[in-house]
Chains A and B, each alone.
Chain A
Amino acid sequence: MAEWVQWLAEPFRYEFMLRGLWASLIVGVVCPILGTYVVLRGMAFLGDALAHIILPGVVLAFMLEWPLPVGALIVGTTAALAIGAIGRRADIKEDAAIGVVFAGAFALGVAMISVQRSYAVDLAHILFGNLLGVSNADIRLMLALGVVVLLTIFAFYKEFLVLSFDPVLATTLRLPVTFLQNLLLVLLAIVIVISLQAVGVALVLAMLVTPASAAFLLARRLPVMMVLSAGIGVLSSLAGLYLSYYADVVSGSAIVLVATVIFGIVFLFAPRNGAIWGLWRRMHVRR
């Protein structure tokens, strides 16, 4: 009995693993909760775009010797608001416009890095996270930002609910739709900045979308969906960390792997919505 307790406790004898745990737990809670809105409103592409657009902001911060999250936050929120403005113009195809900005910004970031000539390793960190290199100051910042995000969601819960369910209804009910949409985009930018360290730009989309998608298949009500999302996120973070320690897998990818496996299981076996039950029901009907 004591042996597997020891097996569970062993990685966390080391401070860097504990710090990684804190960071990944924060990400595992905040990302999926905001991710419920991303999933329900079809903002996945937008989220991925924002994450990549942040790259030049991070490089700029590095070149100016500012803390990296500051550069990321500034560029992220600016880009978020700009994307919101683009989206509200009825004539431009929104996803193409976002694609243009996405690719352009990312290329700019890579070009800036190549001018630097000696930044190549850190590009990998920005793309895939550097969970083991997270410092206590980083964790404090992540926690502060995470609390801000969660409090905002709590404060505007019913407004975001209406906005996500039906934007037309939000207009009829005279909610400040533009403000709320922008607020949601800014929250998204903040969450991406929080996740940079843990899973990096390339995989933050996964933390936004995968646990929430799994929760969607299981929940009938939004609060339940959020709690389930966060639960799956936390589970993925924990299991991912153990995986990275005992199987030598890069931590960010390990966490995403676990989340995806969980999604796969839910996809197949969820009561009512699971693919396996659908198949089973169809077979029974034929008889």
Chain B
Amino acid sequence: MTQLITRFPSHDKEAPALSMENIHLAYNGNTVLEDVNVRIQTDELVAVVGPNGAGKTTLLKIVAGILKPDRGKVDIFGHTPGGHVCIAYVPQRSQVDWNFPVTVAEVVMMGRIRKIGPFRWPGKNDWVFIRQALERVGMTEYADRQIGELSGGQQQRVFLAQALAQEAEIILLDEPFTGLDISSQDSILAMLHEFKGTGVAILVSTHDLSLANEHFDKVILINRRLISFGKPTEVFIRPHLVEAYGGHVHDLPEAGGTLVLAETCCGEDPEGKHG
């Protein structure tokens, strides 16, 4: 139960940033996620991949503490997610109300709400954090724009800045690359790599397997249950992909080996609608 004044649990230095054991969640009688066992350390950049409806958003929301699993244990630095304010969840862009009358700076400021505390307004210190966050994502000139006026890539960066202002140690991004052009994708990726080195663990869900393969330290491959977790070379092997994507896997012979192609589709993640 969250209260108005919460003690933030102190982080257990020995514990991994995130540990999920035997996670199981059912919704309306259907199992949405099961058998999820992962351990993630700080300074790791991890991709969560799987087909539509695999439970990627659900997994992220369990880590964030928005959803509670029916069975299993989630540990953030040795404690349960609730009460931790160091987790930032960046939603899919389609889930955000871009018409809301709020500016870029105000969205970033929202990240600091627990640090500011109840009944107080942002202080000088808070504004320093907000300005720094905006600088690190390169959105300083857009501070006073209403968020609906931004491009897709810029919108993503605003929420990243929010996570930074929150001083988050775990950042979860739900399909940040969907709908972005290559250069925007690249700049987001560059930023994620930058943040990774500053004591932050980052989980990113994506459809794009080649992206996951090339840019991420670890991959979590799921399709309603954990299929594989580890380095991309360990995870992206044919049997795993078949298990995850079923008939959408094609073998293409090429010089020096076989190219395995998986249709991962794109578009809106239906899980985003509920949960």
Interface residues of A (CB under 8 A from B): 40, 155-156, 158-159, 161-162, 164-166, 168-169, 171-177, 179, 216, 219-222, 224-225
Within 8 A of A (CB), among B116-152: 116, 118-119, 121-122, 146
* Least distance between A182 CB and chain B CB atoms (Å): 13
Question: Which residue of A155, A219, A220 has the most chain B CB atoms within 10 A of its CB atom?
Answer: A220
Query: Which single residue of chain A is at the shortest CB-CB distance from B6?
Result: A174
Within 8 A of A (CB), among B138-171: 146, 166
B89 touches A168 (CB 8 A): yes
Given the interface pairs A158-B116, A162-B113, A168-B66, the reply to whether A176 lies near B3 with Cβ below 8 Å is yes
B103 touches A174 (CB 8 A): no
Q: Within 8 Å CB of A221, what residues of B? A: 101-103, 106, 146
* Least distance between A162 CB and chain B CB atoms (Å): 5
Query: Sorted from nearest, which 7 A-B pairs have the closest CB atoms?
Result: A220-B146, A172-B89, A171-B66, A225-B101, A174-B2, A162-B110, A172-B64
Q: Within 8 Å CB of A165, what residues of B? A: 97, 100, 102, 107, 110
A161 touches B101 (CB 8 A): no
Q: Within 8 Å CB of A173, what residues of B? A: 85, 110-111, 113-114, 166
Query: Which single residue of chain B is at the shortest CB-CB distance from A222?
Result: B101
B87 touches A172 (CB 8 A): yes
Q: Within 8 Å CB of A159, what residues of B? A: 113, 118
Q: Within 8 Å CB of B122, what residues of A? A: 158
Q: Within 8 Å CB of A216, what residues of B? A: 101
A172 touches B6 (CB 8 A): no
Q: Within 8 Å CB of A155, what residues of B? A: 118-119
Q: Within 8 Å CB of A177, what residues of B? A: 2
Q: A172-B64, A177-B2 are in contact. List 8 more A-B contacts (CB 8 A).
A: A155-B118, A165-B100, A165-B107, A166-B95, A172-B65, A172-B66, A221-B101, A225-B101
Q: How many residues of B contact A (CB 8 A)?
A: 37
Which secondary structure dominates chain B's binding surface? loop
User: Looking at the complex, which one of A171, A179, A222, A225 makes contact with B4 (CB distance below 8 Å)?
Assistant: A179
Query: Which single residue of chain A is at the shortest CB-CB distance from B88?
Result: A172
Interface residues of B (CB under 8 A from A): 2-4, 6, 61, 64-66, 82-85, 87-89, 91, 95-97, 100-103, 106-107, 109-111, 113-114, 116, 118-119, 121-122, 146, 166
Complex formed: what's the CA distance from A222 to B103 in Å?
A: 9
Which secondary structure dominates chain A's binding surface? helix
Q: Within 8 Å CB of A174, what residues of B? A: 2, 6, 65, 82-85, 114
Q: Within 8 Å CB of B85, what residues of A? A: 173-174
Complex formed: what's the CA distance from A62 to B97 in Å?
A: 44
Q: Within 8 Å CB of B166, what residues of A? A: 173
Question: Which residue of B87, B96, B102 has the most chain A CB atoms within 10 A of its CB atom?
Answer: B102
Complex formed: what's the CA distance from A179 to B118 in Å?
A: 13
Q: Within 8 Å CB of A162, what residues of B? A: 110, 113
Q: Within 8 Å CB of B91, what residues of A? A: 166, 168-169
Q: List 15 A-B contacts (CB under 8 A).
A: A158-B116, A165-B107, A165-B110, A169-B89, A169-B110, A171-B66, A172-B65, A172-B88, A173-B111, A174-B2, A174-B114, A175-B2, A175-B114, A176-B3, A179-B4
A166 touches B83 (CB 8 A): no
A222 touches B83 (CB 8 A): no
Complex formed: what's the CA distance from A156 to B117 in Å?
A: 10
Query: Which single residue of chain B is at the shortest CB-CB distance from A226?
Result: B101
* Least distance between B86 CB and chain A CB atoms (Å): 10
User: Looking at the complex, which one of B84, B96, B114 makes contact with A166 (CB distance below 8 Å)?
Assistant: B96
Q: Within 8 Å CB of B6, what residues of A? A: 174
Q: Within 8 Å CB of B66, what residues of A? A: 168, 171-172
* Least distance between A95 CB and chain B CB atoms (Å): 17
Complex formed: what's the CA distance from A222 to B106 in Å?
A: 10
Complex formed: what's the CA distance from A174 to B122 in Å?
A: 18
A158 touches B110 (CB 8 A): yes
Query: Which single residue of chain A is at the shortest CB-CB distance from B99?
Result: A216
B113 touches A219 (CB 8 A): no
Complex formed: what's the CA distance from A175 to B96 in Å?
A: 18
* Least distance between A50 CB and chain B CB atoms (Å): 23
B101 touches A224 (CB 8 A): yes
Complex formed: what's the CA distance from A161 to B110 in Å?
A: 8
Q: Within 8 Å CB of A222, what residues of B? A: 100-102, 106
